Amino acid sequence: MTHSHETQTPEQNYTTEEITGALANAQEVVARLQLDSSFHAACAEATIHPLRDRQTPEYWHAFRMYVGGRVDAAKEAGKDTLQMDAIELLAAAPSYLLEQQKLTKGSFEDIQERRYAKEIVSWYNGMIRGFAQNYPETSASSLTTKLLTTVSETVHTPNDRNAAGQCLKNTIRGAQHELAFGQVLGHTGIPCRSTTVEEDLKGLDYVVGEGKHAIGVDVKASLSEVESRGSERLFAVKPNGNVVMYSMVLDAELHDRFFVDDQLAKEKSMQLIPQLIAAQKAA
């Protein structure tokens, strides 16, 4: 489906300025790579026109695969990991958005095509989380802006552009709350893990507890998403036994990052424990 996305722990801690600079540089590289003769050769092989087909999912799929291969080779050659990760993240954004658009509209020929779209969306969400974990000083707003600029080249109608912008903002905000919730969860002392690919495709973010007490948790950035399910608590149990849970983190507490202050995470973990115990009983 995609080449595997290996998250490597960076050698050093990068500052917000360095990360933003790497993303700005990546924008120029992504634009340049689309003119690369070896990419055009890959397009020809896949019967894709490198200029006329620039708005198609096929073009951006080919581009994502091409850049992924180049990035892997560059990392093996010892090139700067941050710069390579930034290039890959921006290059894959249009492909992700086009598949997300299909999921929103529900326009699929068959079940295979729908699964593929879900896999790409899940993979890209994981890629954003991986980037934020590796580079914790990443500014969420700066990342959103850079992704929007890259994507604006692929989306040409104002309506689609607005939809793409909203989608990207929601994706970044969702990743912020998922990671911050994981940080709080880590302080509870309750056994937990990240989800498998299959679990992720079902919309789950974490599995909390073990054995028959294990529950799948889908983290939400706002309490209203839990309340809309008729619950007056911080979580709601779905008919299938999985749990929708509020992240317990306010946007303001993130300070434009993907994590909260660790002391705050410890304090929030004390509030989370009774909620998780109640959710396990209710599920």
Q: What is the DSSP string of 113-167?
A: HHHHHHHHHHHHHHHHHHHHHHSTT--HHHHHHHHHHHHHTT--SHHHHHHHHHH
- Under the banding of pLDDT at 50, 70 and 90, the label for residue 163 is confident
Please tell me which residue, 12 or 108, carries the higher pLDDT value: 108
For residue 216, give Cα distances in angstroms to 66, 204, 244.
35, 6, 9
Domain ranges (residues) in the chain: 16-156, 180-282
Q: Is 219 helix (H, G, I), strand (E, B) or coil?
A: strand
Residue 50 near residue 39 (C-beta atoms within 8 A): yes
Distance CA 83, CA 20 (A): 10
What is the percent of the chain with per-residue pLDDT over 70, rounded to a whole number?
95
String of b and e for 61-93 (b: at least 16 CB within 10 Å)? bbbbbbbbebbbebbeeeeebbbbbbbbbbbbb
Computed over every residue of the chain, the mean pLDDT equals 91
Per-residue pLDDT tens digits for 43-99: 999 999 999 998 888 999 999 999 999 999 999 999 999 999 999 999 999 999 989
Distance CA 223, CA 181 (A): 13
Task: Give the residue among 188, 190, 180, 178 at the shortest CA–CA distance from 217.
Answer: 178
For residue 99, give Cα distances in angstroms to 3, 63, 112, 153, 211.
17, 14, 13, 16, 35
Distance CA 226, CA 214 (A): 20
Distance CA 59, CA 104 (A): 20
For residue 48, give Cα distances in angstroms to 35, 112, 143, 154.
14, 22, 30, 16
Distance CA 178, CA 258 (A): 9
The predicted pLDDT at position 11 comes to 54
In the predicted structure, residue 279 carries a pLDDT above the cut 80: yes
In this structure, how many other beta carbons lie within 10 angstroms of the beta carbon of residue 258? 26
In the predicted structure, residue 10 carries a pLDDT above the cut 70: no
Distance CA 260, CA 45 (A): 47
The predicted pLDDT at position 159 comes to 79
For residue 102, give Cα distances in angstroms to 116, 117, 256, 261.
11, 7, 29, 37
Angle at 236 between CA 231 and CA 242, to 5 degrees: 165
The structure tokens listed for 117 are 């779209």
Per-residue pLDDT tens digits for 227-262: 999 999 999 999 999 999 999 999 999 999 999 999
Per-residue pLDDT tens digits for 180-228: 999 999 999 999 999 998 999 999 999 999 988 899 999 999 999 999 9
